[in-house]
Amino acid sequence: MLADTALAVMWVGLTCYALFGGADFGAGVWDLLAGGTARGREQRLLIEHSIGPIWEANHVWLIFVVVLLWSCFSPVFAAVMSTLYLPLTFAALGIIARGAAFAFRKASTELWQQRLFGACFAVSSLVTPFFLGTVAGAVASGRVPPGLAEGNVITSWLNPTSVLGGVLAVLTCAHLAAVYLCADADRAGEDELARTFVRRALVSGLASGAVALAGTAVLHADAPELFHGLTHRALPLVVISAVAGVTGLWLLVKGHYVAARAAAALAVAAILWAWGAAQYPAMLVGGLTVDQAASSPAVLSACLIALACGAVLLIPGLWLLYGTFQRAATPEPPGVKASDS
């Protein structure tokens, strides 16, 4: 019971990282595809305004998941970190380079410097979710055996399921960001910009659905246990994800941007929990179950108590942070442009 509770809490943190951090990475992808300096200026300004106040806070969720995995399921932590250290290192470097480039671009005054740091920020936003997706694919396909560095350090994450996971991660992040940016642009009164991101959300959403549908053949051939779980125990969650995704696209077309946000978030959360349900009770497919990998009851109890205490302090702060920057902007005085403020 304690182990299942700790796993559920960890999965909640992973879901939050997928929704908040994913949209954060996706915004960087759209920054990369915004166009030249002049043509992409409005899009990049909106992206900077949307992620600027919270881009560091999003990685709290990743730290939360890693620490909880280490504390409550240390054999899984050891196996994942020792076998998948290459993609995890690439992802960590991407996160660091992305954050530094984003900060330096804001502080740079020369155009060539802004372009250099902007390119670094955008490319890092593309490669980081890809490598995180390959890690998920490696675990889901059973290529991470128990023990220290027991899995192949190359083929464990360079395989069909991992590549599928990486591509889906990039497309999902891009879709989430585009949906979120639609509402931000609409709230700022930028109707044309909102329509631009609607088109991008539709394209990325349809691409995500097409890749996920085609990916079933990949899973059937390369990860049969995961495929069986997704088409049996986790099938209701898969259906919820598909329905929410289609509903979100319809809401975007109708201009209901806030509702589309909720639908897109539900689609991503449902498929993430479908993965967990399909694999349960295995944490390492073919290796360790939840009960086998769990720490002692005393450790689990201490972690859960500490999490409950920390949540009392953390959740109100995050709620205030996200809520503050989702309120409508205060109208500018007559004669003052928003770009001059």
pLDDT in tens, 169-196: 999 999 999 999 998 888 888 888 999 9
> 127: which 2 tokens?
């490669």
| pLDDT number for residue 50 | 80
306-326 core/surface letters (b: 16 or more CB in 10 A; e: else): ebeeeeeeeeeebeeeeeeee
Question: pLDDT averaged over the chain?
Answer: 89
| pLDDT number for residue 44 | 84
Residue 53 pLDDT > 80: no
Contact (Cβ atoms closer than 8 angstroms) between residue 288 and residue 23: no
- The DSSP line for 239-306 is HHHHHHHHHHHHHHHHT-HHHHHHHHHHHHHHHHHHHHHHHTTEEETTTEEHHHH---HHHHHHHHHH
| pLDDT number for residue 138 | 96
Angle, vertex CA 70, rays to CA 13 and CA 222, nearest 5: 75
- Percent of the chain surpassing pLDDT 70: 94
148 phi/psi in degrees, rounded to 5: -85, 115
Q: Pick from 122, 96, 131, 101: which is nearest to 113 by CA?
A: 101
Model's pTM, two decimal places? 0.89
| pLDDT number for residue 338 | 41
Averaging pLDDT over each range in 16-30, 210-224, 317-331, which range is the top one?
Answer: 210-224
Residue 148 pLDDT > 60: yes
55-89 core/surface letters (b: 16 or more CB in 10 A; e: else): beebebbbebbbebbebbbebbbbbbbebbebbbe
Residue 87 pLDDT > 60: yes
Q: How confident is the model at residue 247 (pLDDT cuts 50, 70, 90)?
A: very high
Q: How confident is the model at residue 18 (pLDDT cuts 50, 70, 90)?
A: very high
CA atoms within 13 A on the CB side of 323: 6
Residue 336 pLDDT > 70: no
Residue 69 pLDDT > 60: yes
Q: Pick from 62, 75, 68: which is nearest to 5 by CA?
A: 68
Please indicate whether residue 51 or residue 78 has the higher confidence score (pLDDT): 78
Query: What is the C-alpha separation between 4 and 251, in angstroms, rounded?
Result: 36
Which whole-number Å values give the CA distances from 22 to 18, 19, 199, 226, in the listed order?
5, 5, 19, 23
Query: What is the C-alpha separation between 260 and 183, in angstroms, rounded?
Result: 9
Report which secondary-structure segment, H or E, holds 41.
helix 41-51
Mean of the pLDDT values across residues 305-316? Answer: 89
Contact (Cβ atoms closer than 8 angstroms) between residue 189 and residue 152: no
- For residue 24, is it left (φ>0), alpha (ψ between -120 and 50) or beta? alpha
